Amino acid sequence: MPLTFIHITDTHVGETPETLVNNYGAGRALQAVLHHIAQNDGHGASFIAHTGDLARDSYHPAAYEGGKRIYGLKGDACAPGPLQVTAAGLNLDWYYIPGNSDHRPECLARLFPRSPAVRLFNYAWEVRSIRFLSLDWGAWRMDNYLLVPDSFDWLREQLQTRTPTVVLTHHPPVHVGVEMFDAMTPPDLHRLQDLIADSSVLAVFHGHTHYPWENRIGRVPVFGTGSVTYRRCLHQSGGEESILEIHPPQYRVVTIGDEGTVSAPVCEVPLAA
């Protein structure tokens, strides 16, 4: 029986649903996304996976409270979840994989207070015979990341067991063809790609760039999902102040078929006037 889940990333919400972040109503945008999911009966999904940057930035940990309120999060599971999304009449499990806006101890304390202290959110769990891996490079307060040995070795060990697997991570494990983003990837990115290419990974999902992408590592599809919040303009040269763009917030509806096939169409949410 196929398994469906929803991929959301990079919401960057403020301390309340109404808080403006760089003059953008990020909380309202996430509310619109959740209403869109509810209007579509949850797309038949079993859970939501949120790959990082829930809160506006690592300097405003109270923004996790805004995220919790908007999602209507309930439950007391340890990281990475599941907590339960109850907003907009939904009743969906919710897993969290941190990004570079996530101060890990604040994230744990505010979302998963019963969790033992950890430095990295590297976790494995299973839903209906599919293994999900939360892969955390630990990078925060910077855009770049490195293949830190703790996470690389953990992933290599996990992938020694060949079972159908989906990797959820914040940073792109590929070049996307835009220098601004490709410069953020590790110089030895090929080591990660070699590991994934020769494994039972069915697909990788990431955020970070705020734009949607579809790439491959060998036969493995790699899906980047666009942000719920605003994006940086792709066409600016370095050095100047960031130009920010508003796009419809989006999410992906991911379906893993019985044969391991993966479909992951993007849903764009119209912004109400």
> How many other β-carbons are positioned within 10 Å of the β-carbon of residue 261?
12
Residue among 3, 5, 6, 10 that touches Fe ion (CB under 5 A):
10
Whichever of 21 and 83 has its CB closer to Fe ion, that residue is 21
Residues that contact Fe ion, how many (by CB under 5 A) = 2
Whichever of 10 and 15 has its CB closer to Fe ion, that residue is 10
CA 124 – CA 155 distance, rounded (Å): 10
In the complex, minimum distance from the CB of residue 210 to Fe ion, in angstroms, rounded to a whole number: 6
- Token digits for 126? 């299973």
CA 195 – CA 219 distance, rounded (Å): 13
In the complex, minimum distance from the CB of residue 125 to Fe ion, in angstroms, rounded to a whole number: 24
Q: If DSSP codes are grouped into helix, strand and coil, which group holds residue 64?
A: helix
**Which window, 2-10, 56-64, 107-115, 190-198, contacts Fe ion (CB under 5 A)?**
2-10
Q: β-pairing, 231-232 with 130-135?
A: unpaired
- Token digits for 139? 């990078």
| Residue in the block written with tokens 């960057």 | 12
Q: Are 269 and 32 in contact (CB under 8 A)?
A: yes
**Which window, 9-17, 118-126, 192-200, 262-270, contacts Fe ion (CB under 5 A)?**
9-17
Q: Note whether 53 binds Fe ion by CB under 5 A.
A: yes
| Residue in the block written with tokens 């102040």 | 241
In the complex, minimum distance from the CB of residue 258 to Fe ion, in angstroms, rounded to a whole number: 34
**Which window, 6-14, 134-142, 235-243, 257-265, contacts Fe ion (CB under 5 A)?**
6-14
Whichever of 165 and 209 has its CB closer to Fe ion, that residue is 209
Whichever of 102 and 165 has its CB closer to Fe ion, that residue is 102
Whichever of 158 and 209 has its CB closer to Fe ion, that residue is 209
Q: Note whether 102 binds Fe ion by CB under 5 A.
A: no
Whichever of 60 and 131 has its CB closer to Fe ion, that residue is 60
CA atoms lying within 13 Å on the CB side of residue 183: 5
In the complex, minimum distance from the CB of residue 10 to Fe ion, in angstroms, rounded to a whole number: 4
From the number of C-beta atoms within 10 Å of its C-beta (0-12, 13-18, 19+), residue 164 rates as: middle
Binding residues (CB under 5 A) for Fe ion: these are 10, 53
